[in-house]
Structure 1
Amino acid sequence: MKKDEKIIVGISIGDLNGIGAEIVIKTYEDPRSLELNTPVIFASAKTMQFFKNHFNSKINFFSIDSPDKVVHGKVNVVNVWKEPVKIKFGTEDQKIGEYAIKSLEAATSALKEGTIDVLVTAPINKHNIQSEKFNFPGHTDYLAQALNGKSLMFMVSDNLRVGLLTDHVPLKEASETITGALVKEKIATVTKSLKQDFGIRKPKIAVLAINPHAGDHGVIGDEDDVVLKPTLEKIKSEGHLVYGPYAADSFFGSNTYRNFDAIIASYHDQGLIPFKTIAFGKGVNYTAGLSKVRTSPDHGTAYEIAGKGTADESSFKQAIVTAIEIFRQREEYNIYAKNPLKRQTR
């Protein structure tokens, strides 16, 4: 792709009873946004027209029947379904969950086929998407299988990047899930992503402890001494700048995180609570480790404000910007990987 070509951004619409459609519309209401990329929304023209009317938007949608018919300069809508959909804002609905999956599956197929360049996903409800055909805790795990990758939830905002050893795992199972092999795999994924997706040639990574105070030498659990410490020492001996395990309670408050290119938390809330406290509304959920680029906003369906027109689209906008930046960075990385001499002359 030439640098002056517009990147085609595929958008899965998420839970129609949540704020997904609203933040998509607000993002592309300004025609100037189309100068930066070409959106392709996977839903239906009828459904998006409903949202346009509800939010009194001036946005114009361009209806197409397949993503290869995309028109630059338009807000394209692929008709994944054509029947009317009953929207009831703020309500969990199994049928609405089915439409969310239809949108995601169609968008993922387009991503694999290359008719869209990147995928940005609007929020889903992890409960109402479950079925016999779709049994994943969220986007990350589904995309890992669909794209045959080793996925990692990577929350990014400016120079703050937080990855997870375990993501959507019950807390009581988190420590048992963390093995030396898993730690090596996740650190390898983060390292590769920092290099190819963020242009950091020699990444410096911190790992947060599993237990309070890193276990206090076994007084509060031995997982840090038995699993994390020896694994990190092994990785460090191979030439990687990996440090820890750090006690998580003071790591962010002391600004220690600023000394690293990425932080890997042991479990979901250990990493996401400080991340969202520092970067809420500006953060992006990026799925590292895949052959394709996927991002999403750092929030959920927000049923409590759905349909009221008060949703903030900032994180969704940033998800688009981040996806484009990563896509461009990967292009550049691949060019230099094929011709190392070019990198030396930069």
Structure 2
Amino acid sequence: MSAPQQKPVIGITIGDLNGIGTELIIKTFSDHRILELCTPVIFASNKVINFYRKGSPDLNFNYQSIKELNRITPKQVNIFNCWEEEVGITPGVLTDMAGKYAVKSLAMAVQALKENKIQGLVTAPIHKKNTQSAEFNFTGHTPYLKHVYGVQDVVMLMVASNLKVALVTEHVPLREAAQHITRERIVSKLNILNQSLIKDFGIDKPKIAVLGLNPHAGDEGLIGKEEDEIIKPAIKDAKRSMLVMGPYSADAFFARHHYTRFDAVLAMYHDQGLIPFKSLALGEGVNYTAGLPGVRTSPDHGTAFDIAGKNKADHSSFLTAIYECIDIINQRSGYAENRRNPLKKMTSVILANVVDEALEIPETDE
């Protein structure tokens, strides 16, 4: 009988100080039952927390303040003070100051994750405009994490109970997206996605669908050449090591619910994947960065300046991001154990081989 798993220590970044991040954190950890599943460490300052706590007087949010990560208390919410100075907070207003301290929280939390002082990270939303500086020249969390860890590639993976959507390109202008669609990039994303589905989500033989770039997946070259010249060769390369099919016409693929027959979908650009995901996902969606040594999740929404400071924010997606972070940490631990004891996986692998029949879906469905 294996020993019971210890509660993971989960780092929480504060996000934009003028957004809804702090409110989400307070609402989430006011339910003390979550302390049975993890030990939270919020990278911020007491003063920011107390400012927003006044706006939710009915919530039972308690914490202990720490200045060293070796002082974490397992049965409490921990605030790791990243700064002591007063910072002006103006909910709902985009300011450089709020972006500066959002980056400070993120940088310290990611460093703690990288040094294994925390086991997972959940990031509250930041704004792409006020975080830009000489020290932080990134379009979001995903490219920053890739840079800090020094990995060649990562995948932005949107996760829900019924749908997983990964992206080839992330936050780039639409007119530039096609320039980033290369055979090598698609193969790289597929390799990371396939390994993540196995290691992070416990799917022994993942089935992955790849979408086309153009309407009707190019319509045999009549509406674009990318499918024939780039995407199909990439899929052929990937098929040597995984079960992947496509390219599919994106509109029919989602409208006819073909996604239900796959474990994940690789979309070519942001809106091609995110619009159907946010429309079709059951429950609350989570943004997961696949391909990192560490585990990082976030809610699938932004700073919501329009409701910041009004005690109107729904913390459901943030709570789901925490649950997903914990699940992935535990799944990775189980995967590592099975790698040490391969006989444990034998039955499930045999069953996966039996079920691995061909999927009969027209690849250029109109």
User: TM-score of the superposition, structure 1-length normalised?
Assistant: 0.97
Would the aligned equivalents of 2:212 and 2:227 in 1 still touch at CA under 8 Å? yes
* Number of the residue aligned with 2:172: 169
Give the aligned residue type for 2:143: D
Tell me the percent identity.
Answer: 52
Alignment of 1:66-77 (within 5 A): 66-77=68-79
CA RMSD of aligned residues (A): 1.4
Alignment of 1:96-245 (within 5 A): 96-149=98-151, 150-236=153-239, 238-245=240-247
SS at match of 1:134: coil
Give, in angstroms, the shift of residue 206 of structure 1: 0.2
Give the aligned residue type for 1:179: T
Measured in 2, the distance between the counterparts of 1:113 and 1:241 equals 35
* Number of the residue aligned with 1:271: 273
Would the aligned equivalents of 2:12 and 2:121 in 1 still touch at CA under 8 Å? yes
SS at match of 2:54: helix
Distance 1:3 1:168, change over 3 A: farther
Measured in 2, the distance between the counterparts of 1:307 and 1:278 equals 30
Would the aligned equivalents of 2:212 and 2:249 in 1 still touch at CA under 8 Å? yes
Measured in 1, the distance between the counterparts of 2:316 and 2:188 equals 32
- Between stretches 38-47 and 334-343, larger displacement belongs to 334-343
Unaligned residue ranges in structure 1 (runs of 5+): none
Would the aligned equivalents of 1:148 and 1:290 in 2 still touch at CA under 8 Å? no
Give the aligned residue type for 1:100: A
Give, in angstroms, the shift of residue 7 of structure 1: 1.0
SS at match of 2:201: coil
Give, in angstroms, the shift of residue 36 of structure 1: 1.4
- Between stretches 333-342 and 181-190, larger displacement belongs to 333-342
Deviation per residue, 1:88-127 (Å, 9 max, x gap) = 1111001110000000001011101111110000000011
* Number of the residue aligned with 1:3: 4
Give, in angstroms, the shift of residue 69 of structure 1: 1.2
Would the aligned equivalents of 2:162 and 2:282 in 1 still touch at CA under 8 Å? no
Distance 1:301 1:235, change over 3 A: same
- Between stretches 301-310 and 50-59, larger displacement belongs to 50-59
Give, in angstroms, the shift of residue 2 of structure 1: 5.5
Alignment of 1:301-316 (within 5 A): 301-316=303-318
Give, in angstroms, the shift of residue 281 of structure 1: 6.0
Q: Which of residues 60, 63, 66 in structure 2 aligns to 1:61? A: 63
Unaligned residue ranges in structure 2 (runs of 5+): 349-366
Measured in 2, the distance between the counterparts of 1:279 and 1:128 equals 30
Would the aligned equivalents of 2:161 and 2:283 in 1 still touch at CA under 8 Å? no
Deviation per residue, 1:152-199 (Å, 9 max, x gap) = 100000131000011111111111111110011000000000000011
Deviation per residue, 1:229-252 (Å, 9 max, x gap) = 12212322x152110000011211
